[in-house]
A and B are shown apart, each in its own frame.
Chain A
Amino acid sequence: MTSFRLPTGGLVDRNTTLRFQFDAKSFTGHAGDSLASALLANGVSLMGRSFKYHRPRGAVTGGSAEPNALVELRTGARREPNTRATMVELFEGLEAKSQNRWPSLEFDVGAINQLASPLLVAGFYYKTFMWPKAFWEKIYEPLIRRAAGLGSAVHAPDPDSYEKIYGHCDLLVIGGGAAGLMAALTAGRAGARVMIADEHARLGGALLGENETINGKPSIQWVQEALAELASMKEVTILPRTTVFGWFDGNIYGALERVNDHVATPPEYEPRQRYWRIAAKAAILATGAEERPLVFGNNDRPGVMQASAMRGLANRYGVAAGKSVVVFTNNHSGYATARDLTAAGVNVAALIDSRANAPKLNAGKVPVLKGAVVSDVEGSRNVKSVRVVNADGGVEEIACDAVAMSGGFSPVVHLSCHRGLKPVWNEKLAAFLPPDTGKELVAAGAAAGNMTLAAALADGAEKAAKLLTALGFKPKTAKPPQADGEPYAVSPLWSVQSQHKAFVDFQNDVTAKDLPLAAREGYKDVELAKRYTTLGMATDQGKLSNVNGIALLAGATGKSIAQVGTTTFRPNYTPVSFGAFAGPFTGHHFNPVRKTPMHAWAEEQGAVFVEAGLWYRPQWFPRAGEKGWLESVTREVLAARNSVGVCDVSTLGKIDIQGPDAGEFLNRVYCNGWSTLEVGKARYGLMLREDGVVFDDGTTSRLGPDHFFMTTTTANAARVLTHLEFCHQALWPELDVQYVSVTEQWGQMAIAGPKARATLQKLVDGITLNDETFPYMAARPVQIMGGIPARLFRISFSGEHAYELSVPADYADAVIRAVMHAGAEFNITPYGTEALSVMRIEKGHVAGGELNGNTTAADLGLGRMMSTKKDYIGRMMATREGMTRADREVFVGIRPIGQGQKLSAGAHILNVGDKVSLEADQGYITAVAYSPMLESWIGLALVQRGNKRHGEKVRVFDGLRGQHYDAELCDPVHFDPENRRLHV
């Protein structure tokens, strides 16, 4: 294999040889190589197949705009598709694979698509595969996806870690080329906090690939001195391998730092990538300019490259793109390439300058053909020759194996357009310039249209100085470094008449013919033409192709380029991995896990846990020999009803409310009254939303004249606190009240059953518990177990004689164990959320299924709680016509007719004899349970006028499970309707 490595030159470390593999073949390169430069050094110019036509493709750029040389990098779980070989830094043992080819890159069956190319023109999706409709999903789409694809994603979890970080600075410099380095130096010397980011491993931008002088020294030496000075400033942060990919509101910049993409595996404890969110007072956009390809026949053959990329290959990597090169240009860039290649010992066969009146520029000894164009490249898998049409119309063929092309430069304006502004067409530069984005972000250097090195250096310093002055710094104005260079002059050449396909968008295979076709078929607007032709819609987002495409569309529609305008620029400038967006928040770090202070005890008891929001709650406690959950749950219910059970209720929201106006505050947020609640008593409270719908319920106790303890449902704990904060701060700031969530500060357990009091009595200090000392709804601080502060509430969700005992969280584990010990003689039984639910259904207490965001207090049979003596949240709207309609679905009990018949939650209720239809729907079942006390299935439901239909036979329709059965509506309080058990 021929080596294309030049004998000398380049910034690569020739003493370090790295081995790597491409498509399972072994090669070597040097430290400092990109994968693309290393492959080219080994004579491998074919790096991939194109998206649609499967044409052979090689690297066309030297950077992140690369549309062709996309490879799958690494193997196994670290495999990454669509990485740009031009951006991949070579490392020892690198393995890469070409994409979108089968069976091999050299022999690709899919290339037959080229023969079908008349079918694959602009809009082919909409034309070819329209009929029959049913074929689309099953046949056409999978077929197209298989044939036209990129790399494939890995299914294994990503073994690497990712970080997120905030950055803050006075000046963010985006791009480390000539203008960026000058801006950073100016700001750093003024003492400002500076961050300078560049997407490449080394800062220097275009200077790394150029053979120029600054202040009489090689430009690379100036870059090194500038970097050394920046590194010595402690307020300056240099971020290599960092792409600033988006500009967001508030002058926030998103950036991706590829911390360890340049090694096989990240070192231990280091992330692969770091996602930056940078808040900058001001920023300099020094992103330079991208060289545009020229549009001529077979301009996509491997070996055809940007002129700047080709000289960068020689100057930066010491690699020749070919043995004999033809340069095709419409500006000075081609001349620099001709000179640099000649100096590197590469033969340049000819320089074709499309400008008949091109200025006299130094091309060395290379013959210059002015007013001529390259119409076509010949060669099927690489370049064999070019067909040149001379100024006089004569045609000649020039043998060569590589073509350098330059269609002028497009400033990299993307970030300046991310917040909605459009770039501005500049006729003289034949390029779009950044819009005026004010003082937050200012473009400098080539990004601002200052295309020469001297102008870029001066502009970077000047723009930075201006921004810093506005921020209150006193930057010194020094004479900018001197650089020579040709003035930038370009004569647009948007396409050349050719015999072969001429590509505008390489990555999406859009040709020069597709845009006029789109225009002829009516897709004249740039946004429509983009989608119809897929121009600029590939992963490169049209970095090389958009301006050429817009110009061709302008030509086809008879408009100016300024009139056609650009499509919308959106973040991200280059792709950002999902891993970086997710950061460390994956797996069990995705959500916090909330465990109650009795969790360890419950685990020891063998609890099966259920996730309730972020909480883990014991659902039931299986015992050996039990066959399934129902048996366990039934045992737990019977234990609580017949003796005593204990349940961890710590997850209920708890809010401590204090202040002289605390009572008044409760009066306004609850629909029922609180003025009459005595100290030492608890009361059930119902909270409405301002639209009159029930929001939440819970028990709130008065612990002192100005001190209340509110509980909420587990699900609404955070929402209720937010609501209280809103009501107090935004509606009634005059109320003197304070409140704080104490959910996690108190561990709380329900102790329920006829033996609850006897169990507790053993623990409570100094009180004999009876109906005088501790009546129903009593709520008081007590001491337990010889001095542990606690709060005891005689409240009941189960319907039993029950208490809730609340202790500081750190005591909860010890206390639950003491409760178990105290209750041992009564065979005290832990019960979970399922038994809790069975007992609340037996008692007809409302919960999540009924507090569903649609029900009013009246719907739930709680209308009498709504006070008429005070204003409260939701009072007025609860009286609206629709909220009080007679046929509303209201709370009712339901039980099956027929021995052993089950009920199913979610099933709908019909009048007997009605056919199933939406109109006939009477309501639905909200909750069901097997009641061990009634030895039957029971349920709760919301049914039209249900409260007036107790005893009525209905038909239940369960479409999901395909069941119909008879049932009877009844009082929702299925068990102990007289509440005798509360006082047992």
Chain B
Amino acid sequence: MEPAERILAIVDRQAINDQMTRYIQAVDRCDLELLKSVFHADGVVDFGVFEGNAWDFCEQNIPFIKENLVMGWHRFTNVGLELEGDRARAESYMLGNAAVRLPDGSLINCPDNMRYLDVWEKRDGIWRIFSRDLVLDWNASWAFSQRSDGEFEQYQLQGQRDESDPVYQHGLIRPL
């Protein structure tokens, strides 16, 4: 490959990685605008809980997780990516940690392992998801044991699931 092509491939991989990061930022901050920006308008998802247009999914999912998850944090890892010009296929791993309230009022902690299977497309120079499927690998229901007293009192900066999270003040939320 010529140097120009090699540089382009590196830039493409980095751009997709950045968008994968924004997807997680969007879900963890419940940021609808940011989440939609990661998908093409005609994109599709097959998440089991939702199958269809990606932007419709975003509109449905953000209020759903805001209402039904007491907390929700995600980290993505293991990106396997095959570039083919302006299209790419990718598998990425996700480790999530969420808490939900049961009908009896008690809280449980639900860590989960999932994978995203994606088709990405670069249009007008910007990579966005055309298709994303969600694969469930594992989960658990553990007793909710989060505390805010004792040694945890020292952490003045607490993550928030909205625009009051410190990441916004740092200017690190920037939809493309």
Task: Report whether chain A binds chain B.
Answer: no
